[in-house]
Amino acid sequence: MTTTPASLSPSRAGDFVSCPLLFRYRTVDRLPETSSPDAVRGTLVHQVLEDVFDLPAAERTPERAHALLEPAWAALRERSEEAREVAGRLDEVPWLASAHEAVERWFTLEDPTRLEPAERESYVEAELASGLRLRGIIDRLDATPDGALRVVDYKTGKVPAEGYEARVLFQLRLYALILWRSRGVVAKRLQLVYLGGEGQVLTYDPDEADLVATERKVEAIWAAIQEALRTGEFEPRRGKQCDWCPHQAICPAWGGTALPWPVVAPTSASAGPLARLRAGVRRAWRRVRGRRAPR
């Protein structure tokens, strides 16, 4: 037995488009995943860029931002078990240096002394006419006095290869769709700020036609998810995401065997069917997680 997820976020929609099996393992089976140093660095840099805006405008300098980074790292380790686990297996000096580089690069791309975000780390959600609920967290929302919105998302990785811009902008289009359906405002600009490599800002100005097309696409994705849940067929799809996927040992595309669907687990008076399903999946996953998939 399984259930349809109650809502869909841009990242989970992206998972399904990239690889339906990855979506299943993350969203339906909820298999545990070990955080990577890159992911934790992204969390740290995002926190620093958010904290910069707590300072008076004139004090939003590279020096003050760099001074915020080590205390933010200490606070992150304090509150996050994942951060502590990553900290225990990385060479902290060069890793912190790379976080400082990302912060420094931000100041070459944007001038925070001239920005006053309307919202930071803003949770947004909307229910579409079909009943599908979309949700997400926007890194930064800038607003003009007349109410125009700019959606800003920070990426600590490198700019995507040519031809992949539409894929990475899809997440921001979904944010724009949520804002349109929940607030009745079409975002004036979508902006991706890449802090890896040489750094770059990608922008796109949507209109209502774009958002209608995005809505149709996400409804199609949702319909495909529901069909996969009905049949249990979540096909693996090889791609760039395989480079960091933690589930290759149980992926047929890499010589592994997918976990059974559905997993039959011992009954328990204290656990519902979905809880038993997930418990069984986790037990099966633990049995194979030590195996290395062939390359």
Q: How confident is the model at residue 293 (pLDDT cuts 50, 70, 90)?
A: very low
Which is more confident, 277 or 132?
A: 132
**pLDDT above 90: percentage of residues in the chain:** 75
Query: For residues 125 and 8, is the Cβ–Cβ distance under 8 A?
Result: no
**What is residue 194's three-state secondary structure?**
strand
Q: 144-168: per-residue pLDDT in tens?
A: 988 899 999 999 988 877 656 677 7
- pLDDT attached to residue 234: 96
Q: 31-85: per-residue pLDDT in tens?
A: 998 889 999 999 999 999 999 999 999 999 999 999 999 999 999 999 999 999 9
- pLDDT attached to residue 6: 74
> Does the global pTM surpass 0.85?
no
DSSP assignments along 116-137, one per residue: --SEEEEEEEEE-TTSPEEEEE
Q: 67-78: per-residue pLDDT in tens?
A: 999 999 999 999
Q: 260-276: per-residue pLDDT in tens?
A: 987 533 333 333 434 44
Domain 119-224 fold: Lambda Exonuclease; Chain A (3.90.320)
- pLDDT attached to residue 12: 93
- pLDDT attached to residue 35: 87
Taking 90 as the threshold, does the pLDDT of residue 226 lie above it?
Answer: yes
- pLDDT attached to residue 132: 94
Burial class, 288, CB count within 10 angstroms (exposed 0-12 / middle 13-18 / buried 19+): middle
Q: 227-254: per-residue pLDDT in tens?
A: 999 999 999 999 888 888 999 999 999 9
Query: For residues 200 and 159, is the Cβ–Cβ distance under 8 A?
Result: yes
Q: In the chain, where does the domain assigned CATH 3.90.320.10 lie? A: 119-224
Q: Which DSSP symbol is given to 97?
A: H
